[in-house]
Amino acid sequence: MKYRHSFHAGNFADVHKHVALCALLQALQRKDKGFFYLDTHAGAGRYDLAGRDTHHGAEARHGITALLAAAPELQSPELQQYCEAVFALRRSVESDAACPGSPWLAAQHLRAQDRGLCCELLPAECRALERTLGGFRRMRVACLDGFEQARAVLPPAERRCLVLIDPPYENPDAEFERSLAMIQLILERLANAVVALWYPIKDERTLVPWLARAARALSAPASTIELWLFARDSRVGLNGSGLLLVNPPHHFTARAELWQQELRRVLDPAQRGGSSVHALTRGGSSDDTGT
């Protein structure tokens, strides 16, 4: 496996995924009871947009860089809070080129009653992740396969959890199917688990049938939220970003519809793309995220 999260750090899909993640974490924290966070494909946790791995922030210019430039005018609380988190990271490491990954964003959200586990299989990435999360006592790092760890740690003692699945999609067909099987296993272990699976919008011939299979396979409430900046099936590169949300918190998708529209206006000034929120199964949001 050659994929590294740093290759695309801060691009529009990264921003879309991370705004959603922060909003999910805040939704779970509407209850005082703690929850368990699991990141199955964590990456290094923090990236340098001035570095070679990110192509000196080339993709980020149309993602996080553009969003931060618009921060004073943003209206959606979800976008404002994400920008505040990025600025906080940059202040803490004294670098305007720092870009947070999902582990750092999750770690800085966790309360005293919450805990998390971030898994990364690549040794170099995992060592970087350990350095990134070294100051966060509520977050643990495992240099292991995240799917195998899910089998080992679920259900959690808290009986509430959020699982982020963000595979590299080097073999899209296989990873779509493996991710769907993992979601089904997670729900067998904990029926009210909140799961967010990120997926690329690149080829409708693969994506549409897979989402149809997911709709048939899942019995829990499930929705998709999608943002695309290019024609969905242009076959040139990454056209858009999607998240399959299982047991999304109450009102989450309604809010996502609003912040996605604003995010698109900022990142897609030519209005070539679009955004959508779709209930994949009956009852596309959950009234509860655990007792």
Contact 201, 232 (CB under 8 A): yes
pLDDT computed for residue 57 by the predictor = 67
- Total-model pTM: 0.94
pLDDT computed for residue 291 by the predictor = 35
Q: Which helix (H) or strand (E) holds 183?
A: helix 172-189
Q: Is residue 291 part of a domain?
A: no
Mean pLDDT (the chain, rounded)? 93
Residue 79 has pLDDT above 90, yes or no: yes
Four-point Cα dihedral 105, 111, 113, 115, nearest 10: 20
Q: Is residue 249 part of a domain?
A: yes
Q: Is residue 104 part of a domain?
A: yes
Q: Is residue 286 part of a domain?
A: no
The predicted-structure confidence for 175-194, as pLDDT tens digits, reads as follows: 999 999 999 999 999 999 99
Q: Is residue 285 part of a domain?
A: no
56: left (phi over 0), alpha (psi -120 to 50) or beta: left
Residue 270 has pLDDT above 60, yes or no: yes
Number of structural domains found in the chain? 1
User: Of residues 39, 166, 203, 287, which has the active-site annotation?
Assistant: 166
For residues 8 and 19, give the distance between their C-alpha atoms in angstroms, rounded to a whole number.
16
Q: Is residue 284 part of a domain?
A: no
Q: Is residue 289 part of a domain?
A: no
For residues 65 and 99, give the distance between their C-alpha atoms in angstroms, rounded to a whole number.
10
Q: Establish whether 53 is a catalytic residue.
A: no
Res. 163 pLDDT band, cuts 50 70 90:
very high
For residues 136 and 14, give the distance between their C-alpha atoms in angstroms, rounded to a whole number.
22
The predicted-structure confidence for 226-262, as pLDDT tens digits, reads as follows: 999 999 988 778 999 999 999 999 999 999 999 999 9
**Residues of the domain holding 168:** 5-279
Of 85 and 52, more confident: 85
What CATH number should be reported for the domain holding residue 243? 3.40.50.150
Res. 102 pLDDT band, cuts 50 70 90:
very high
pLDDT computed for residue 288 by the predictor = 44
Res. 51 pLDDT band, cuts 50 70 90:
confident
pLDDT computed for residue 251 by the predictor = 95
Q: Is residue 290 part of a domain?
A: no
For residues 252 and 116, give the distance between their C-alpha atoms in angstroms, rounded to a whole number.
22
